[in-house]
Amino acid sequence: MPENETLKKTSSKKAGLPLMIITILVLIVVVFMGVVVILGIFREPVPRTPVEKEILSWKEKVSRNPDDVLNHKNLALAYLSAGQERLAKDEFEIALKLNKNFYDANLGLALVFQQEKKFDLAIKELKKVLRKRPEHSEASFQLGRIYYRQKKYTLAQEAFQIVLKTELENADAHYYLGLTYQKTKDDSSAAKEFEEALKYFPGHKAAKDALTRLQK
């Protein structure tokens, strides 16, 4: 073989070696980045906000004790406060499967349905609570708010009056009851309820503003 051809082949091999090394390094980097991306997708995100930390805390408690209805309820409430209604609904339903008489889960589902503007479903859940606990003031209060939103003012009045039978100092119940009276043109009763709200909670701005408008 001529000497110049041998030199060409040798130099060609030397020139190809760095290219091969670069190619291998690029492949290593690509594979490494792929692994990082995959781990990032499947790894639990690091909680940053107080709500995210609360969710993680309750998820861990549910994992340790999956049959505890309170753990599922509290995880659901954390999801709800984070605006994750679907996940909240799932946890409330799990709680009810564990204990069909756990009325707090029915109340929680009602809150989810209210946020989703599914008011008929919310009413259904609230009535389940009241069948189990007729004196449940929070269920009656939420029921009154829905009826008020639906312009069923007489039903709303009845619901808020039930709340006040057991919680006379509930300023919000007085305020909403006042609003229902106002809608039914009973301004004197409305004013009285706004005053009661301010009596029990002087800082109730909505009641104060409503009373001011009524007195003009």
Instruction: Note the pLDDT tens digit of each residue in 43-59.
Output: 555 667 898 999 999 99
Neighbours of 100 (CB within 10 A): 12
Please say if the pLDDT value at position 5 is more than 70: no
Q: What is the pLDDT of residue 22?
A: 72
Candidates 1.25.40.10, 3.30.2090.10, 1.10.1060.10, 3.30.428.10; CATH matching 135-216: 1.25.40.10
Q: What is the pLDDT of residue 83?
A: 93
Of 87 and 8, more confident = 87
Q: What is the pLDDT of residue 2?
A: 53
* % residues pLDDT > 90 (the chain): 75
Q: pLDDT tens across 142-192, in order?
A: 999 999 999 999 999 999 999 999 999 999 999 999 999 999 999 999 999
Q: What is the pLDDT of residue 61?
A: 96
Residues of the chain within CATH 1.25.40.10 domain(s) are 48-128, 135-216
Q: What is the DSSP string of the chain?
A: --HHHHHHHHHHHHHHHHHHHHHHHHHHHHHHHHHHHHHHHHSPPPP-SHHHHHHHHHHHHHHH-TT-HHHHHHHHHHHHHTT-HHHHHHHHHHHHHH-TT-HHHHHHHHHHHHHTT-HHHHHHHHHHHHHH-TT-HHHHHHHHHHHHHTT-HHHHHHHHHHHHHH-TT-HHHHHHHHHHHHHTT-HHHHHHHHHHHHHH-TT-HHHHHHHHHHH-
| Residue 149 to residues 123, 142, 156, 190, Cα–Cα distance (Å) | 12, 11, 9, 17
Q: What is the pLDDT of residue 160?
A: 98
Distance, in Å, from the CA atom of 90 to the CA atom of 75, rounded to the nearest integer, reads 10
Please say if the pLDDT value at position 3 is more than 60: no
Distance, in Å, from the CA atom of 68 to the CA atom of 74, rounded to the nearest integer, reads 10
Candidates 3.40.50.720, 1.10.287.130, 1.25.40.10, 3.40.630.10; CATH matching 48-128: 1.25.40.10
Q: What is the pLDDT of residue 7?
A: 42
Q: What is the pLDDT of residue 42?
A: 47
